[in-house]
């Protein structure tokens, strides 16, 4: 049991540190996404002169907030799940089935890391976005076209974070099956439980 707790600690510590940072970045991203959409609505419907960049900026923010929030939801059990079959089973068999499904998820996520890496570093990642630019000079005289790989990096980062959470959940599941579940730290503070439901 101490070996499993020793294996769990780095994954749990990483997730305790990184996922809250991702949450705050996601909050900023959703605020920027709303601002970009409101700018587009104003220019399109009030001034009758649609801008080329707000749609792409909103999409960029949406991809990043999804990549950063998905691991938090997965860790807290916030994904949609059909768990009535597992709940109908005896508790020990249900835990074994859940552990098996976590291993299947780990396999899928490992393949997704490879796909995400290819998207970021491969042929498709070399293209630039259609209309998303960032200034490279303080006086806004020079602009840099955002590479598509920056958008696709959200997929890679999200999948890697999901895989790390998955490994933590596998270890927690094994520790619980071996009778050490009472010694595990809660994944979510009680004041936030309502938000996850």
Q: Indicate whether 196 pLDDT > 60.
A: no
The yes-or-no verdict on residue 51 having pLDDT over 50 is yes
Give the pLDDT score at 17.
Answer: 92
Label residue 72 exposed, middle or buried (CB < 10 Å: 0-12, 13-18, 19+).
buried
Percent of the chain with pLDDT over 70: 84
Most confident range (mean pLDDT) of 9-23, 113-127, 181-195 is: 9-23
Contacts of 185 (CB under 8 A, 6+ apart): 12
pLDDT given for residue 197 in this prediction? 47
pLDDT in tens, 66-76: 999 999 999 98
Alpha helices (H) along 76-186: 84-88, 91-121, 148-177
- Name the band, by pLDDT with cuts 50, 70 and 90, for residue 21: very high
Tell me the pLDDT tens digit for each residue of 143-173. Answer: 677 777 788 889 999 999 999 999 999 998 8
Q: What's the pLDDT tens digit per position in 114-141?
A: 988 888 887 655 655 555 666 666 665 6
């Amino acid at each position: 049991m101490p070996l499993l707790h020793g294996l769990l600690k780095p994954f749990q510590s990483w997730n305790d540190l990184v996922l809250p940072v991702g949450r705050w970045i996601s909050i900023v991203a959703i605020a920027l996404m709303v601002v970009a959409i409101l700018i587009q609505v104003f220019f399109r419907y009030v001034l009758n002169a649609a801008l080329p960049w707000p749609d792409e900026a909103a999409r960029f923010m949406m991809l990043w907030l999804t990549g950063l929030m998905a691991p938090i939801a997965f860790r807290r059990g916030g994904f949609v799940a059909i768990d009535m079959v597992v709940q109908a089973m005896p508790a020990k068999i249900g835990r074994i089935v859940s552990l098996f499904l976590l291993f299947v998820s780990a396999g899928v996520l490992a393949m997704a890391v490879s796909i995400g890496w290819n998207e970021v570093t491969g042929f498709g990642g070399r293209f630039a976005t259609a209309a998303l630019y960032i200034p490279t000079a303080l006086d806004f005289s020079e602009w840099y076209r955002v590479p598509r790989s920056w958008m696709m990096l959200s997929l890679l980062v999200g999948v890697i974070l999901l895989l790390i959470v998955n490994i933590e959940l596998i270890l927690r599941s094994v520790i619980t099956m071996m009778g050490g579940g009472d010694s595990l730290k809660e994944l979510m503070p009680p004041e936030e439980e309502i938000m996850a439901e």
